[in-house]
Amino acid sequence: MRFSENPERNTAIIWFVIAACSFILAIILAALTFSSKLSFVRFFPPLILACLSFLGILSGLIHLLSARKVDALTGGDFLLHWSYRYGDITPYLDDEIKRRNKKKILILLSCVVVLAIGVLLSFTATTVDYAAIGEYAVLLILAIVILYKGLPAMGYGTTGVTEFYLGKSSALFGGRFHNWDEKGGGLENVQFREGKPSLLLVSYKASARGKVVDLRIPVPFRREQEVKDLLT
């Protein structure tokens, strides 16, 4: 699921969609809650959705600003640009794929824990609040949709991602936008390693609190001189 070749714009669109859907669901569930028996277990899902809606708008705006940087990078403000066949770069996306899978697992586990607590609170000694359980089921479905439909469009899916761009303060590789032009961030190291294939090694820190990210970028055959010229 890809709207464009700009992963940051895709991310912004998805977050705005999540914000809109969450807001609508929050209104519907809040109306059902206040029209029936008001309780914490019934009020909690609309509250979560309202917070998610606010987070979606904020995240969408942030990624929309980053999308402009991607447009500038891919529009001509780059130092290097290569195209690959997808199978040629998959061995170099191992760290990225692990990061994406880890994020999926953490989000899913967090959702399951929160929803499980809500479902348990729906049970009392004498009754079961089926309406509250239904609300938590809606939240679980929303979380699954975000994980398996939203994240691939947010640059968390690598299928068909074959373009590499390197600029003075950013790079686009494997469907992910890397930006070190942030407060406290910066380029740590750039090296060229000859081999089969040769590799361009880029290390950067995204922010003051961010860890150092290492990119291993395969250099296409007969493009090695471009890297050597850039580093001299």
How does pLDDT run across 134-147, given as a tens digit for each residue?
777 777 777 777 76
Task: Give residue 64's pLDDT.
Answer: 92
Whole-model pTM?
0.77
| Same structural domain, 25 and 133 | yes
Residue 165 scores a pLDDT above 90 = yes
| In contact, 68 and 74? CB cutoff 8 Å | no
Residue 226 scores a pLDDT above 50 = yes
Q: Which residue has the tokens 């929303």?
A: 142
Give a yes or no: residue 134 inside a domain.
Answer: yes
| Same structural domain, 135 and 102 | yes
Give a yes or no: residue 166 inside a domain.
Answer: no
Q: Which residue has the higher pLDDT, 1 or 194?
A: 194
pLDDT, mean of residues 149-154: 62
| Same structural domain, 27 and 116 | yes
Residue 156 scores a pLDDT above 60 = no
Give a yes or no: residue 124 inside a domain.
Answer: yes
Q: Which residue has the higher pLDDT, 73 or 208?
A: 73
Give a yes or no: residue 137 inside a domain.
Answer: yes
| Same structural domain, 24 and 132 | yes
| Same structural domain, 186 and 222 | yes
pLDDT, mean of residues 101-116: 77
Q: Which residue has the higher pLDDT, 190 or 208?
A: 190
What is the distance, to the nearest Å, from the Cα of residue 183 to the centroid of all Cα atoms in its chain? Answer: 21
176-179 and 170-173 as β-strands: parallel, antiparallel, unpaired? antiparallel
Confidence of residue 151 (pLDDT cuts 50, 70, 90): low
pLDDT, mean of residues 50-58: 90
In degrees to the nearest 10, what's the CA dihedral of 140, 1, 9, 146?
A: 0
Task: Give residue 1's pLDDT.
Answer: 41
Give a yes or no: residue 37 inside a domain.
Answer: yes
| Same structural domain, 31 and 131 | yes
CA angle 87, 92, 98 (to 5 degrees): 105
| Same structural domain, 40 and 150 | yes
Number of domains in the chain: 2
Give a yes or no: residue 193 inside a domain.
Answer: yes
Give a yes or no: residue 17 inside a domain.
Answer: yes
Confidence of residue 93 (pLDDT cuts 50, 70, 90): confident
Range of the domain at 15: 7-77+97-156
pLDDT, mean of residues 177-185: 86
Enumerate helices (H) and strands (E) in the chain, giving the number of each: 7, 7
Quick one: what percent of the chain has pLDDT higher than 70? 82
pLDDT, mean of residues 158-172: 82
Q: Which residue has the tokens 């309780």?
A: 39
Residue 38 scores a pLDDT above 90 = no
Confidence of residue 69 (pLDDT cuts 50, 70, 90): very high
Residue 202 scores a pLDDT above 80 = yes
Q: Supply the mean pLDDT for the chain.
A: 81
Task: Give residue 79's pLDDT.
Answer: 92
| Same structural domain, 73 and 187 | no
